[in-house]
Structure 1
Amino acid sequence: MWIARLEGGDANAFREFADTYSQYLFQVAYSVLRSVKDAEDVTQETMMKIYSSLPQYRGQGFKTWITRIAVNKAIDYKRSHDRKREALTDEWEQHLPVARSVNPVEEIVLKRQERELIRRKIRELPDSYRDVVFAFYIEEKSYQQIAEEQNLALKTVESKLYRAKKYMKKHWKEEERE
């Protein structure tokens, strides 16, 4: 089992782990960050975090565990990036050149795959969560906007999103590959 070898510091086991999961972790990070460069950076950070956190791994749901680490790393990165960006003036940001480091065809394919996966997963949600999850994660609306548009109390929106997250964690376990 390569996880035991990985915990033992076997370089080949780490290579096997990277070959098996790096693309998956990249897709997870990309789904949060929407930037190839940022997703690549976060994927590398995630791989190192997983390696250093192996002693805390409980032996259940490996893919779920690494996905959680990747999502948390991506969210932390995005928050940090957003805070830095907020420090800049709007006028200065408008003069920055837009760099394209990704092949447009590759970007289209990645976005298409991501959208299909998200649509499929959202369709699996119970009706009571689906609209709120779609509005928050896909349409990127604030809790306040969702509450106003769906005639809900702000606390109801918070509660539905919290319960939807719990549902997703419980029901969307990934297939294990070891």
Structure 2
Amino acid sequence: MYTHLNSFRQESNYKTWLIRITLNKCKDYHRKWSIRNIIHKPVIDSNLYHDNSTNSTEQIVEQKEIGNEIIHAISSLKPTYKEILILYYLQDFKLKEISTTLNMNFHTTKTRFIRGKNFLKKELERRGYKDGSF
């Protein structure tokens, strides 16, 4: 800001200008592809893998492979679908809670959930998983 102080037009207070720049930088940061496409793997891992104490080693490895495939399939989706699916399936949110959390119309949330679920299903089928195989 110090280097661009000469671009300040003094149409508003300096504090207002500073706040506006800060807000715009925050919005830019959240729009970045790398930030919007993050999946918090520890949360997903703990939710995907079931109780390993009663499963054989082979079943545990198979569950982890399937879990990794699901993680990769979810990460390939658009952020608008990904965030809703993660909140619904992995965080056990209801659609109403998701719409409130994301500050989104309920019907928009429901539509994105259905579309995201269909995209996820197609992606998993493309990767070789058919209905009921995981």
Name the TM tier (shorter chain): 0.3 to 0.5
TM-score calculated relative to the size of structure 1: 0.37
TM-score calculated relative to the size of structure 2: 0.47
Is the helix fraction higher in 1 or 2? 1
* Structure with bigger gyration radius: 2
**More contact order relative to length (CA 8 Å, sep ≥ 6):** 1
